[in-house]
Chain A
């Protein structure tokens, strides 16, 4: 029974895209990773419209005072077990916005992040690799 659960979780990770005030480069690269050229549906990865359906949250952007409560809310709305994948340098550290008055710090201060994908922006191949590494953690 436990094996079937684990198999299901590994073979069909549905992702929800949380764009929390990024400059849109990482968002565009995520969309590029979902296009037919890379065909992530081979691995069962689907983009879903509601956090209630999601198994993995792709968070992008530098977190600030405005988006912090929203990101925490979306994380709480996602049914567990769920993975959190930080895409881009902004979500790993705070990148060049470190000294800004509005920035409250990297994501892992507030929600548990499983995998960091560095890059500004990361390539679609890097995002797929990050997804694979996240699934190995299950």
Chain B
């Protein structure tokens, strides 16, 4: 019963999505201010969400109905589980179980996977191109992402429990205040941009080339759930960075850290052009991967 409450209401679905939609508003407002505009009012993401829920959901002719409709539900459930686990384990480190960090890495892999499945099931050529790009991009960013997370595991002496990592940082200070911690944080920040599908890496839904890319055929509640997944990611991925490298989210100061990371993401989004898919893959494997490995080597020597 308590687990269901955690999953659906407090740190899970309802709470994460409300904060995520609020951060989406922060994103749109900061973008508007950068472009010297006024920007949307604070209720705008909520209005978008309720509008999409009340619209008709069309299923294209010849699409696989089950896969098409189940993909957004899978991705929202995965993000709710990440939210519940991450936040509960920050506040009650003793409730952490063996290997929950690995479970979270797996759950974070589900939304891109669900997007690929849904886009492939929709029988649209533009969605198919978007899905293939999303898959390539996923292989690109997942390797440096996990390698950078390894830095936190090595620094804490092989801990794969989030609770233990948070407690370690309470005793010995955040991992970010070391050279390897800084390198790993930068690598994860860039990978996060790709995971969110924001501008240097929005190759899968490139508006000017692919209409709406992987989401081209989605409408109504299915599109609303995909937008909600993106919003929850915008909240939970910075939370993951703060948990692993900057001393956990169980303090009021964490709100400032969260907003700092979100604004950093938005600034990167607004000041960069879109990369081609081959350039993105080269950037992740040849540019970012050696940096992540350097972080691991430094972490082994305790720097």
Known contacts A49-B207, A55-B51: A42-B219 contact under CB 8 Å: no
Known contacts A52-B223, A53-B223, A81-B55: A39-B215 contact under CB 8 Å: no
Known contacts A44-B48, A50-B212, A53-B212: A79-B54 contact under CB 8 Å: no
Contact A41 B32 (CB under 8 A): yes
Determine how close the nearest CB of chain B comes to the CB of A60; give it in whole angstroms.
18
Which stretch of A8-16, A20-28, A91-99 is in the interface?
A: A8-16
**Which of B38, B51, B55, B56 is A11 in contact with, Cβ under 8 Å?**
B51
B37 within 8 Å of A (CB atoms): yes
Contact A52 B50 (CB under 8 A): no
B62 within 8 Å of A (CB atoms): no
B251 within 8 Å of A (CB atoms): no
Contact A36 B36 (CB under 8 A): yes
Q: Which of B186-225 contact A (CB under 8 A)?
A: 207, 210-212, 215-220, 223
B40, B211, B220: residue with the most chain A Cβ atoms closer than 10 Å: B40
Of all chain B residues, which has the CB nearest A4?
Answer: B50
Q: Which of B27-82 contact A (CB under 8 A)?
A: 28, 32, 35-41, 43-44, 47-58
Q: Which of B209-248 contact A (CB under 8 A)?
A: 210-212, 215-220, 223
Contact A41 B215 (CB under 8 A): no
Contact B217 A41 (CB under 8 A): no
Residues of B within 8 A of A11 (CB): 43-44, 47, 51
A109 within 8 Å of B (CB atoms): no
C-alpha gap A5/B55 in the complex (Å):
9
Q: Interface residues, chain A, CB within 8 Å of chain B?
A: 4-5, 7-9, 11-12, 36, 39, 41-42, 44, 48-50, 52-53, 55, 77, 79-81
